[in-house]
Amino acid sequence: MPKLTTLLVTIPRETEVTPESAATFLSTFPNILQKSLFDIWIKGEPQPVIALEVAVWEQKIRFLVSCNSSLAQFVSSQIQSTYPLAMITPIEDPLPSLVNKLEVGELRLALASFYPLKTWADFRETDPINSYLSVLSKVSADEVVYLSWVLSKAPNDWQGAGRGAIDRGRAMGVSGQQANGRGYTERRGSLPNQRGIEEKIAQSGFAVNFRVGATSSSRLNELAAVFGVFAKPDGNAWKLVRPLWGKEGWRKKLLN
């Protein structure tokens, strides 16, 4: 396991935080998460990992970034350039002391990764972040909640898979016999939200493991429900997956 550094990020309330600035911050990650198999297997270099985290304990919401220690300076500089007033403090990773208290799960995409979720552009009147911050602001003194978006290199074929799905389209039934009199011709139409798929695969991307933990199962289910705000009727949605057994293994995944 690579050596990780955890950064506590504190942004003054008066700081203007916009979706555009967040998009600029995230746009640098696909490049730094790239690492060749030669570097990993032959040279023994660790796979780059960055985790964006929101955690609550002692009734205080904290924003954290965990990453390879070798990336900490770069990540700090990107945060500082995007949010100049941010205070960035390296801290001891709090999760090992909290994880045994947690019910754990993962929010996974309901459909293939090339189907889009709603993005900030779909929320003109409301801030979707408020949907889960409102839940986090109500936790009791003895509760712990942890949200972790672990970013890593995207599969090489994820955009090609989307393009292939568009080219194939969807089955629309059959019509008429073929000219040779054998069989029927399959009719195919466009995929639902084909334009949304095209827009998504035109962007650089990264793989995301969205891990969640909460002191109680009811809180975990509540968090999963509020992320339903990102569901796109003709696109993708988050679904909560929980372990039927082997909770300790899932807790270790949250740590890793």
The CATH code of the domain that includes 111 is: 3.40.462
The answer on 142 and 168 residing in a single domain is no
**pLDDT tens over the chain, length 256 residues:** 568 999 999 988 887 788 888 888 888 888 888 776 666 667 777 788 899 999 999 999 999 999 999 899 999 999 999 999 999 999 999 988 888 889 999 999 999 999 999 988 888 778 888 888 999 999 999 999 999 999 988 888 999 999 999 998 877 666 655 555 566 666 677 887 899 999 999 988 889 999 999 999 999 999 999 999 999 998 999 999 998 766 777 677 776 6
In terms of phi and psi (left: phi > 0; alpha: psi -120 to 50; beta: otherwise), the region of 206 is beta
Between CA 204 and CA 74 the distance in angstroms is: 19
The answer on 122 and 96 residing in a single domain is yes
The answer on 210 and 195 residing in a single domain is no
The answer on 43 and 53 residing in a single domain is yes
Q: In the prediction, which pLDDT does 49 show?
A: 85
Between CA 36 and CA 30 the distance in angstroms is: 13
The answer on 62 and 184 residing in a single domain is no
Q: Which residue, among 219, 30, 244, 17, has the nearest Cα to 135 in the 3D structure?
A: 219
How do strand 103-109 and strand 50-57 relate by DSSP bridges?
unpaired
- Facing residues of 149 across strands? 52, 210
Q: In the prediction, which pLDDT does 210 show?
A: 96
Q: Which residue, among 234, 30, 198, 188, has the nearest Cα to 114 in the 3D structure?
A: 198
Between CA 13 and CA 35 the distance in angstroms is: 37
Task: Please report, to the nearest 10 degrees, the dihedral formed by the alpha carbons of residues 226, 62, 125, 240 taken in order.
Answer: -20
Q: What is the pTM of this model?
A: 0.86
Q: In the prediction, which pLDDT does 214 show?
A: 95
The answer on 193 and 110 residing in a single domain is no
Compute CA 255 distance to the chain's CA centroid, rounded to the nearest angstrom.
16
The answer on 232 and 197 residing in a single domain is no
Between CA 216 and CA 155 the distance in angstroms is: 34
The residue to which tokens 């500089």 are assigned:
77
Between CA 238 and CA 226 the distance in angstroms is: 10
Q: Check: CB of residue 184 under 8 Å from CB of residue 174.
A: yes
The answer on 199 and 108 residing in a single domain is no
How do strand 50-57 and strand 60-68 relate by DSSP bridges?
antiparallel
Beta-carbon contacts of residue 10 (< 8 Å; ≥ 6 apart) = 63, 86, 87, 88, 89
Beta-carbon contacts of residue 19 (< 8 Å; ≥ 6 apart) = 120, 121
How many structural domains compose the chain? 2
The answer on 108 and 181 residing in a single domain is no
- The domain containing residue 189 runs over which residues? 157-204
What are the tokens at 32? Answer: 């730094």
The answer on 120 and 56 residing in a single domain is yes
The answer on 175 and 147 residing in a single domain is no
The answer on 216 and 165 residing in a single domain is no
Q: In the prediction, which pLDDT does 168 show?
A: 87
Q: In the prediction, which pLDDT does 113 show?
A: 93
Q: In the prediction, which pLDDT does 177 show?
A: 56
Q: Which residue, among 27, 22, 229, 234, has the nearest Cα to 123 in the 3D structure?
A: 229
